[in-house]
Amino acid sequence: MTKILLVDDSAELLDLFTALFTIKGYKVRTAVHKNMIGPQLALTRPDIILLDVRLNGYDGRKICLELKQHELFQHIPVILISGDENLLQDHTACKADAVLPKPFTSEMADAMIRQLLTKEMA
């Protein structure tokens, strides 16, 4: 079962996408704050991370870069999500594997997740 770590400061969005991804067969863990990411990574060992760019005063792009520079987590694909497409334009600078503009459907996210995981296995 594919494990997703979904990081967003909107509890409503987390609840919605947890339900939708669970229906699609994913195991979902969530984090609403930067300080929750580390414990969830250790607990879950996710296959992929969906990370909001604006996260309770933190820049998700910086968090992404930290993850990609960390020996234990650099292999995990990260999809940056944001309602502001301008914030997604420089995603290569933070080594994000993909971007997903809000609003997005679970089908869009599912297709991107499958594509990245297939790429990782190749």
Taking the chain (122 residues) in consecutive chunks of 10 residues, what is each chunk's mean pLDDT? 95 91 94 94 95 92 96 95 79 90 87 89 63
Q: How many structural domains is the chain composed of?
A: 1
Write the single-letter amino acid at 43: L
Task: Please give the torsion angle defined by the CA atoms of residues 49, 55, 59 and 62, in that order, rounded to the nearest 10 degrees.
Answer: -30
CATH number at residue 111: 3.40.50.2300
- pLDDT attached to residue 74: 95
**Distance from CA of residue 65 to its chain's centroid?**
13
What percent of the chain is predicted at pLDDT more than 90?
73
| Termini Cα distance of the chain | 18
Q: What is the pTM of this model?
A: 0.93
- pLDDT attached to residue 89: 77
What is the domain range of residue 104?
3-121
For residue 103, whether the previous peptide bond is cis, meaning omega lies within 30 degrees of 0, is yes
- pLDDT attached to residue 59: 93
- pLDDT attached to residue 122: 60
